[in-house]
Structure 1
Amino acid sequence: MRKHACTLYFIALSLNNLLYSTTILVVGLLDDGYQIRIRIRSALSSKLVTYFGTVLSILSAAFLVLTSIDRWWMSLERRVFTNVRTAKQLIFVITISFSILFIISFIAADLYNSDIVGCRIQGSSAFVQANGWKKAERKMLKEHDL
């Protein structure tokens, strides 16, 4: 069963989806069934739920793309990238890369008592300030064109 690269991609996808579903199911069950809102218990739990939700959902799409690329390579005469060793390396590299890339969701997520959601990624003041400057610049350019 593990003799084909495509099978490894599907196994990685299945394990990822199992982990994602379990995480979301446990958080949802605690929230809805027992009124234990783990997302707003602490800043760390808020950050962890946001981080794992983001990374695991992105990894699902990445594994599907890798599977599609592997199937495309299988249709070609020269099958360079369709071996088990390359599949294992790609799965490892993609998992590590996305885990590092989306560490920003762990850093940016925080508790906000001012809204209903409680735990989310909110735009930083630097982003809001830069966005405000951009809007003011567009407004000024629009006024001068008239």
Structure 2
Amino acid sequence: MQYALHLRARDLSLLHIHAENCLPLESVALLFGVIEEHLVVVKRIECVRNESDKAATSFYVNPEEEYQLLIDAEARGEELVGIFHSHPAAPMPSSSDLDNMRLNPVVWLIASKTSGAWSSKGFVLDDAAVEIPITIIADVN
């Protein structure tokens, strides 16, 4: 069965704004929510600072910050369901992304602005990176 990602429109917009604000560096955010069967539902996003020494082409999250966000998520009944980051090239996993996907088996949401407007694609790792469908959920107050 194939995974699918459900994400609120405002959250995707916030991720793209975060990516825009981080240019020319890669942006990064952690996605928290629940996994029901093969449906990954994002309930909350946390934009974090890219602490990589090579932030133009890679990202690194401060482990203490990530740990605290994981503790907070657990208290909310959530888990880490995805990692978002932007690319200077097409929104496809790089070789280092593939290595990190093996360590972090969650959805990887990759954004790019190569066409002039931000676009994002979601991936999970099977034997190779597999693109998954993204459903944008209407914002409800």
Q: TM-score range by the shorter chain?
A: under 0.3
Between Structure 1 and Structure 2, the one with more strand by share is 2
Q: For the pair shown, which has the larger CA radius of gyration, 1 or 2?
A: 1
Between Structure 1 and Structure 2, the one with more helix by share is 1
